[in-house]
Copies of this chain bind each other. A is one copy, B any other.
Amino acid sequence: MGSLDLNFTDSSLSQTDVFKPLDHEDFRKQAHQMVDFIADYYAKIESYPVLTQVQPNYLRSRLPSTAPYLPEPLQTIFHDISAHVIPGITHWLSPNFFAFFPATVSTAAFLGEMLCTCFNAVGFNWLASPAATELEMVVMDWLAHMLKLPASFMFSSGTAGGGGGGVIQNTTGEAIFVTLVAARDRKLEALGTNDVKKLVVYSSDQTHSTFTKASRLAGICPSNVRSIPTSRDSEFALSPELLRKVVGADVESGLVPLYLCLTVGTTSTTAVDPLEPLAGVANDYNMWVHVDAAYGGSACICPEFRHYLNGVERVDSLSLSPHKWLLSYLDCCCLWVKRSDLLVNALSTNPEYLRNQPSESDSVVDYKDWQLGTGRRFKSLRLWLVLRSYGVANIQSHIRSDVRMARMFEGFVKSDLRFEVVVPRKFALVCFRLKSFYRAEPSYVDSLNRKLLEWVNSTGRAYMSHTVVGGVYMLRFAVGATLTEERHVVAAWQLIKDGADAVLKVKGV
């Protein structure tokens, strides 16, 4: 690689003066090479250790400390990807990935992403690329229909300017943050103050940590962020009675309830907060209610799961991440709101250099006013290609297939007396553990389960994660990586059993 000397002048660059970084024939040739590289990676993905075994700084120590001054051939770069990058990747697309929630993908979404990149349409407002804005509106309505959301969340309900509709955010964190800020600004305006100190936000102790973070960012006092305890009895769902009690106490102390974040499918155990009664409490106190359905929401496109959204007509906003379970690659978080005018009030800007006739006529949506940043990509292409290439039928079938495999795994766990399922399975995640036994200290059982997890993950043949809920350490087996088939679940269970043998034997149990 060349050394870095930035002080060359034009005259020393004669070899580069016909630099054409987007020659379409070079593009064609090299992009075809990349397609083959990627297809080959997908073909052999099963052969890689799922969880990488590299040590901190492994890559930094292998790469030069400055950029090359002169070009390097693509073949050298391909070589370095294979030799240095891939060994340090945790293969999220491996069929043996069962950790966290899998991030699902598909050929159609890949094609959509290529097209999004291709156009590089910077859709900050309608005029900057009408197709980008309008396709997003169409696709968000499509998904809303698939979820049987009320018309009040759709553009097609026809309330022009300020009514319901959807927008693609990058992550759930942003979806929660922008709605929280919209709620905050509406409440402060109603109170006629700039003082956020009295505002209180609510969620359960199972809500994703991104909610506490978003609250801090929005300036909510840390002491006003309520994390209401849940218990195993209610399968870790938030209790409406408890919520009412906590909110009531706050109101009596002179505080102002602002925002309630509910979850359909919590990260630890896929608990589902009962929307209907909880939104009822929130409505009584005039709070904004948001539903984080990042994972569980996708299942609700199947009629047999739709009941988890019962009561959604009473909430203000809902987010769902197709990058989790709708085959869409990162990053894609769909957010629907009933009152987009409140988002726009909190998030709009109107600099002279972006002024244009369609925006001023209020006849169009300018998505920059629905999100934190200004620039935005043409992400709806990805969802559009997924929905059209596969149809709702196949996507429902994909959800059901994952659930079926998880049910199978649950059966395996139940059939082995050394194990227990800790929380009843709702979707495609099984929370299980090596059972406690006569006279065993809870901490000892926890440590056995920790050992088992380490044993399994260190083989590189499967990757699971863990959580601690209600004081119980448990293993999480999440089925859903796009390439996972029954045989992978069967093999993973065999591996886990082997791990249990090893761990329990060493421990002399």
| Identical copies of this chain, number | 2
Per-position 1/0 for A106-140, Cβ under 8 A of B: 11101101110111111000111111101101100
A415 is an interface residue with CB less than 8 A from chain B: no
A387 is an interface residue with CB less than 8 A from chain B: yes
A504 is an interface residue with CB less than 8 A from chain B: no
Q: Which residues of B contact A350 (CB under 8 A)?
A: 209
Chain A binding surface, main DSSP class: helix
Q: Is the Cβ of A65 less than 8 Å from the Cβ of B24?
A: no
Q: Which residues of B contact A90 (CB under 8 A)?
A: 121, 127-130
A67 is an interface residue with CB less than 8 A from chain B: yes
What 6 A-B pairs are tightest by C-beta distance, nearest first?
A219-B219, A171-B373, A88-B131, A21-B106, A173-B373, A28-B39
Q: Which residues of B contact A347 (CB under 8 A)?
A: 213, 217
Per-position 1/0 for A443-480, Cβ under 8 A of B: 00000000000000000000001111000000010000
A303 is an interface residue with CB less than 8 A from chain B: yes
Q: Is the Cβ of B92 less than 8 Å from the Cβ of A6?
A: no
A88: min CB distance to chain B, Å:
3
Q: Is the Cβ of A21 less than 8 Å from the Cβ of B327?
A: yes
- A-side interface residues, number (CB < 8 Å): 174
Q: Is the Cβ of A71 less than 8 Å from the Cβ of B390?
A: yes
Cα–Cα, bound, A488→B379 (Å): 30
Could you list 30 A-B pairs, sorted by A, with CB under 8 Å? A21-B394, A23-B107, A25-B39, A27-B38, A28-B39, A30-B111, A31-B39, A52-B129, A56-B358, A56-B364, A59-B134, A63-B135, A65-B156, A67-B142, A71-B388, A71-B390, A74-B389, A77-B389, A89-B132, A92-B121, A92-B129, A100-B128, A170-B170, A172-B374, A177-B217, A185-B216, A217-B347, A218-B219, A330-B376, A331-B375
Q: Is the Cβ of A142 less than 8 Å from the Cβ of B22?
A: no
Q: Is the Cβ of B22 less than 8 Å from the Cβ of A482?
A: yes
**With A72-B388, A129-B92, A353-B465 given, is the CB distance from A60 to B400 under 8 Å?**
no
